[in-house]
Structure 1
Amino acid sequence: MGPTVTVTATPPPGADGTTPAGDTVSGPPDTGTAAPRGTIPGDGTFFVGKEVAPGTYRSDGPADPNVPYCSWARLKGTTGNPGDLLAADGSKGPLTVTVLPSDVAFKTEGCKPWRRAG
């Protein structure tokens, strides 16, 4: 007899962006393919430990010259409530952020891809 495997499934979000448990789901859909290790795409909300590894990341700044500003946020939840925000910043130039293992998610908007520093 082979090993026992346990699978936990999360229902897909409804049209309002929430699961039956009321959790808000954001970011790109899980396509089964992750970004290259040590990188974070420029836009979206990414779960720490699953889609983003903790560590220090750098972005070269805004991705669109017509919108010369990019921002990031470290989150302790994804409900969209102000209490979910741990830290945030933005810039017209390069940015550096440290994503902690205790963060639930990392959100980035308008930035060139992030790459692991060091």
Structure 2
Amino acid sequence: IPGSGFFVVGPDISPGLYRTSGTGSTWGVWINDVPTEDSMCLWFTYSTPDANKDHVVETNISMGPMYANINPSVKAFESINCQPWTRVR
């Protein structure tokens, strides 16, 4: 899965456990010892295919490696500023 984009489960991606190595940013920007959101990898899973933030099932944000469990009840996955995702299971 590319590191940034919106993907509908079924037509675009299959359910499973996916891993990213972390942020897609070459440089991190820190303010008051906290990385800015633009310096981090951010992802969401949704219970509907329309990416409505009211229908977020799970989300995470980090600069380092992360996993996203896209189970069969998830309808969509959104990834922002991440390295590519690889299915591990």
Structure ranking higher in strand proportion = 2
What amino acid does structure 2 have at the position aligned with 1:115? T
Q: What is the percentage of aligned positions where both structures have the same residue?
A: 33
What amino acid does structure 2 have at the position aligned with 1:53? S
Picking from 6, 13, 18, the partner of 1:57 is 18
Alignment match, 1:113: 84
Which stretch of structure 1 is more off in the superposition, 98-107 or 71-80? 71-80
Instruction: Tell me which of the two structures has the higher relative contact order, counting C-alpha pairs closer than 8 angstroms and 6 or more residues apart.
Output: 2
Distance 1:45 1:94, change over 3 A: same
Note the C-alpha offset of 1:83: 2.0
Is the Cα–Cα contact under 8 Å of residues 8 and 49 in structure 2 kept in the other structure? no
Is the Cα–Cα contact under 8 Å of residues 51 and 76 in structure 2 kept in the other structure? no
Structure 2: distance between partners of 1:78 and 1:66: 32
- How many residues are treated as equivalent by the alignment? 79
> What SS does the corresponding residue of 2:72 show, helix, strand or coil?
coil
Cα deviations across residues 2-39 of structure 1 (Å, max 9, x unaligned)? Answer: xxxxxxxxxxxxxxxxxxxxxxxxxxxxxxxxxxxxxx
Distance 1:81 1:49, change over 3 A: closer
What amino acid does structure 1 have at the position aligned with 2:82? C
Alignment match, 2:31: none
Structure 2: distance between partners of 1:81 and 1:107: 11
| The structure with more radius of gyration | 1
Note the C-alpha offset of 1:95: 0.6
Runs of 4+ in 1 over 4 A off after TM superposition: none
Contiguous gaps of at least 5 residues in structure 1: 1-39
What amino acid does structure 2 have at the position aligned with 1:49? G
Structure ranking higher in helix proportion = 2
RMSD over aligned Cα atoms: 1.5
Structure 1: distance between partners of 2:40 and 2:6: 17
Note the C-alpha offset of 1:78: 4.3
